[in-house]
Amino acid sequence: MHITLETDYAIRIVDRLINAKGRIDAKTLSERTDVPQRFALKILRKLTEGGIVKSYKGAGGGYEIALSPSEISLYDIVELVEGTYRFSRCVGDGYNCTCNKNELPCAYQKVFSNISEEVCRMLRKQTFDKFVK
């Protein structure tokens, strides 16, 4: 199991912006993170809409981090890019379980729900201030 490439790139972008200590343009950010510029712009749009990054237009424009590193967790990035983390689709809203029609949620749903909650808890604890160089 892996996080998506988009989430991996988003984490790299946030890390670079935190360590830049100021504005950085999309082209430079793309080069420094090894993220294709088109993909970086897509991710930056999500990060800006999510309030994690500020965007500035025009000469001297670019991007900078909007929050302190202690206010941004790995969970925030995963949720912003991928949506709410769920270990299995059967934990999602509206899923029709076919494992055991007599007992809902079934034993698998209970275990998968617990795993999902634990992963989310661990991701929330990992804030970017722990990674500042």
pLDDT, tens digit, 9 for 90 and up, residues 47-68: 999 999 999 998 888 999 999 9
* Average confidence (pLDDT) over 2-27: 92
At residue 3, the pLDDT reads 84
**Residue 18 pLDDT > 70:** yes
**Residue 70 pLDDT > 80:** yes
Report whether 98 contacts 90 (CB < 8 A): no
96 DSSP assignment: -
At residue 59, the pLDDT reads 84
**Residue 130 pLDDT > 80:** yes
CATH code linked to domain 5-130: 1.10.10.10
* Among candidate residues 41, 58, 123, 45, the one with its CA nearest the CA of residue 85: 123
Q: Which amino acid is at 122?
A: M
Q: Where are the domains of the chain?
A: 5-130
The CA-based dihedral angle spanning residues 14, 123, 3, 31, taken in that order and rounded to the nearest 10 degrees: 10
Give the span between the Cα atoms of 61 and 109, in whole angstroms: 48
pTM over the 0.95 mark: no
